[in-house]
A and B are shown apart, each in its own frame.
Chain A
Amino acid sequence: MRPRTMFARDPLSNPEPLIRRVYAYAAYRLGDGPDAEDATNDAFERALRYRDSYDRDRGEPVAWLIGIARRCVDQILVDRVTVAEPPDVEAPVHLEDETLNRLELSRVLGTLSAQDRELVALRYGADLSARQIAELLGARTNTIEVALHRALERLRRQMTREQSRSHSAPTPEGVRIEPSPPV
Chain B
Amino acid sequence: MKPFWSRQRSFNIEDELRRAKPEPRSEFVLTLAERLRAQRHGARPVLRVALAAALTTALLAALAPVGALGSAGSAAEGLVNAATRVAATHTRPLAGQTPATNQYNKKKKCPKGTKKKGTKCVKAKHGTKGARVSRRGPHFTG
A→B interface (CB under 8 Å): 6-7, 10, 12-13, 15-16, 19-20, 23-24, 27-28, 32, 36-37, 40-41, 44, 48, 92-93, 97, 100-102, 104-106, 120, 124-125, 152, 155-156, 159-160, 162-163, 166
Contact = CB atoms under 8 A, between A and B. Distances in A.
B20 A155 contact: no
Contacts of A92: 1
Interface in B1-43: 1-6, 13-14, 16-25, 28-29, 32-33, 36-37, 39-40
Given A7-B50, A40-B24, A125-B22, A48 B5 contact: no
Given A93-B1, A160-B5, A48 B40 contact: yes
Which of B13, B21, B40 has the most C-beta atoms of chain A within 10 angstroms of its own C-beta?
B21
A93 B2 CA distance: 10
Majority secondary structure, A binding face: helix
B135 to A, nearest CB: 88
A20 B29 contact: yes
Contact of B4 (A23, A100, A124): A100
Interface string B47-78: 10010000000000000000000000000000
Contacts of B23: 20, 23-24
B22 A37 contact: no
B46 interface: yes
Given A24-B21, A104-B4, A159-B5, 4 more contacts: A15-B37, A16-B29, A19-B29, A20-B24
B36 A15 contact: yes
Q: In which size bucket is the chain B interface?
A: 20 to 34
A69 to B, nearest CB: 13
Nearest to B5: A159
Interface of B: 1-6, 13-14, 16-25, 28-29, 32-33, 36-37, 39-40, 46-47, 50
Contacts of A162: 3
B40 A12 contact: yes
Contacts of B13: 152, 155-156, 159
A36 B17 contact: no
Contacts of B6: 163
Which of B23, B24, B29, B33 has the most C-beta atoms of chain A within 10 angstroms of its own C-beta?
B24
B47 A6 contact: yes
Contacts of B14: 124, 152
A125 B21 contact: yes
Contacts of A155: 13
A48 B36 CA distance: 8
A154 B46 CA distance: 52
A41 B20 contact: no
A16 B22 contact: no
B17 A120 contact: yes
